[in-house]
Amino acid sequence: MFNSRSLHSMNPNVRQVKETAKRQLHNVKIGINDLKILHLDDYIREALLDPIYGFSTSKWFLRKDSVPDNCKEEITKLVKAHIFEEDGSVIRKVENYMQLFDVKSGFTAAPCHQFSTEQHVGLKLIATKKWEKDEILNSHNFNVLFDTIPLHLNEYSVSKPSVGQKEHIWLGPSSIVNHSCEPNTVYEHYEKKTLLKVIKPIEIGEEITVNYSRKYFFKCECDTCKKGPEESTVKRKRGDSTISSKNLIMRKTRASNTRWSQEDSDKELAKTYALYQKMFDSVDYPPELKESAESAEHCFTQRFLMIETPQMDQHLRTFAKETKDMVHRVQVSRNLLSKDKLNENLTISCWKNAEKLIQIGTAFMSSPEKLEANDVDDLKSMAKFIEDLIKHQESLKEIRNRKLEEEELIRRKEEVREHFLGTEETQKNSPQDRVANLVMQRAISQLSPQLRPIITRIFDGPTQQTAVSNGETSRKRKSSNRRKRTAKREKSPTGTPEISDVFLRIHYTNRPIQTLHVKKIGDDGQQNGLNSQNQQKLEEVVNFFLMNPTVTQ
């Protein structure tokens, strides 16, 4: 079921997840052939839809086992990551179901309580866009079925459209289209598949139905049949709709611990959008799938906003025609994005797209004669809506950037402070050590030709107080100082760095040489060394370094 060549060319992490999924699917004994494709479809339906709808939508009444939890998880991960490369694999089938959550597909699933044949707990397909006559539900996936499927084995997913036609399996979204004696679609047969063609306009929220065929194995409970033959506009042919009760096969009882009340389509639609959102929220991306998942979501959302195609003109028309539908889409996108804490880039790029959307709206508004009054109002309010959201997003971004800047400033201040005053560790030393340290560190690190006239030499201990040797290179000076300091420190019995008295001889260009003496703490523990005058001088020097690290005059 998994193509080994494509597995090899994949990211190893993705491959690993897929291989796990493959193993798990094998463990539950799924393979691709005619009958098993039905099982597989059912597994996916169970793994994907049941957690979302909160009841068992499973249609495979003969099946004893169920999707193991770990397998469900894998499937959900794969769904989440939208990794749909391989034809005919489980992933493809999952993608079929994903159309239910892609508002652009024009349909979605909603709970259905109409049919006793499924214990009043089932699903139906409803329109999320306005469908016009003769449009084809082309993402509707009816696979041509193999002759080998015995009809009685699965009355649920198999249909025999007409004489001479092969039977068809109903997979993915198509498996939730209910039968009606007054349907709004008909089968449209193509060489390789059968699609649904719209035969009368379908409003948003309206159920999409088809007349299954002349033969199906349940007692019809569609609206038309419920109204009774005298009210129905449909002329029944003999043999249509019903068969004798002994052939009526009841489906596996659904786990109906949920009581579904009948809701109007608007509410159902809103609920479905919420489900869409829940779906994306439900799983955390595993780290190994994060990248592909995010880029897939990115594509998904772009597609969703309908702006990344070259046929802008066509889009503009659709946009005008489906303004209301677009408002729904934007609402869904808003929900989706507001919940997306996983990927900020995705959110930002989505808002960029939304900006483009506003441009489209603005272009439209500049030639309003093309639109009906209602459309213009809707469009304006939608553009305003998006604009507000973008502003909101922008202000959040600004706040974040400001915060980052502040953090950076604090960090840099801290760095400078540490550089001059030393870390907490060095600050624990005596004041004169600290000052000496800081001057020494600073001077050593900054010794450059410009500084030479100012600092001639810094050294430890009064005996080493010498004048400048101008011929000495800064490197030599540094290493000699290091040697001296090291020697001093090694002498310390405690092992902690110790600095004795420090003499600084400072050569000013326009003043006499000055010597500062910072005394070590006396053995008696008496803190001295820095008389106020020296203290002041030291501060002056330090400040000089702080302010003019490379300036000589």
Angle formed at CA 529 by CA 527 and CA 531, multiple of 5 degrees: 110
Residues 277, 265: Cα–Cα separation, whole Å: 18
Closest contact distance (angstroms) between CB of 122 and ligand SAM is 3
Under rule CB under 6 A, how many of the chain's residues touch ligand SAM?
22
Which amino acid does the sequence have at 468?
A: V
How many Å apart are CA 305 and CA 151, to the nearest integer? 42
Q: What minimum distance in Å lies between the beta carbon of 250 and ligand SAM?
A: 9
Q: Between residues 218 and 351, which has the closer beta carbon with respect to ligand SAM?
A: 218
Q: Which is nearer to ligand SAM, 156 or 187 (CB)?
A: 156
Helices (H), 282-322: 287-305, 312-321
231-260 binders of ligand SAM (CB under 6 A): 251
Q: Which is nearer to ligand SAM, 177 or 306 (CB)?
A: 177
Q: Exposed, middle or buried by CB within 10 Å (0-12, 13-18, 19+), for 511? A: exposed
Out of 53, 101, 107, 170, point to the residue binding ligand SAM (CB under 6 A): 170
Side-chain half-sphere exposure of 102, counting CA atoms within 13 A: 24
Single residue of 81, 158, 176, 436 touching ligand SAM by CB under 6 A: 176
As measured in angstroms, the least distance from the Cβ of 81 to ligand SAM is: 26
Contact flag: residue 211 with ligand SAM (CB under 6 A): no
Which residue stretch of 170-178, 374-382, 481-489, 507-515 sits at the interface with ligand SAM (rule: CB under 6 A)?
170-178
- Distance between CA atoms of 262 and 541, rounded to whole angstroms? 84
Among 24, 57, 184, 437, contact with ligand SAM (rule: CB under 6 A): 57
Whether 79 and 291 have beta carbons less than 8 Å apart is answered as no
Interacting residue with ligand SAM among 18, 22, 39, 59 (CB under 6 A): 59
Q: Which residue has the tokens 């050294």?
A: 459
Please report, as residue ranges, which positions from 250 to 309 form the binding site for ligand SAM (by CB under 6 A): 251
Q: Taking CB positions, which residue lies at the least distance from ligand SAM? A: 122
β-bridge mates for residue 143, sequence order = 169, 193
Q: Please, which of residues 215-234 interact with ligand SAM by CB under 6 A?
A: 218, 220-222
Asked if 545 interacts with ligand SAM (CB under 6 A), we say no
* Spatial contact of 155 and 252, defined as CB atoms under 8 Å apart: no
Piece in contact with ligand SAM (CB under 6 A), picked from 94-102, 177-185, 323-331, 375-383 = 177-185
- Calpha distance 384→317 (Å, rounded): 20
156 binds ligand SAM (CB under 6 A): yes
Q: Count CB atoms within 10 A of the CB of residue 225.
A: 19
355-391 as b/e: b if 16+ CB within 10 A:
eebbebbeebeeeeeebeeebbebbbebbebbbebbe
Q: 243 or 399, CB closer to ligand SAM? A: 243
89 binds ligand SAM, rule: CB under 6 A: no
Q: Which is nearer to ligand SAM, 113 or 478 (CB)?
A: 113
- 3-state secondary structure (DSSP) of residue 390: helix
**CB of 242: closest distance to ligand SAM in angstroms?**
10
Q: Is 117 in the site for ligand SAM (CB under 6 A)?
A: yes
Residue 107 β-bridge partners: 127
Pick out residues in 525-544 that bind ligand SAM (CB under 6 A).
none
Work out how close the CB of 89 gets to ligand SAM at its nearest, in angstroms, rounded to a whole number.
23
Q: Pick from 185, 78, 75, 80: which is nearest to 136 by CA?
A: 185
Query: Which of 41, 46, 74, 118 touches ligand SAM by CB under 6 A?
Result: 118
Tokens of 437: 């340290």
Site of interaction with ligand SAM (CB under 6 A):
57, 59, 112, 115, 117-118, 122-124, 156, 170, 175-180, 218, 220-222, 251
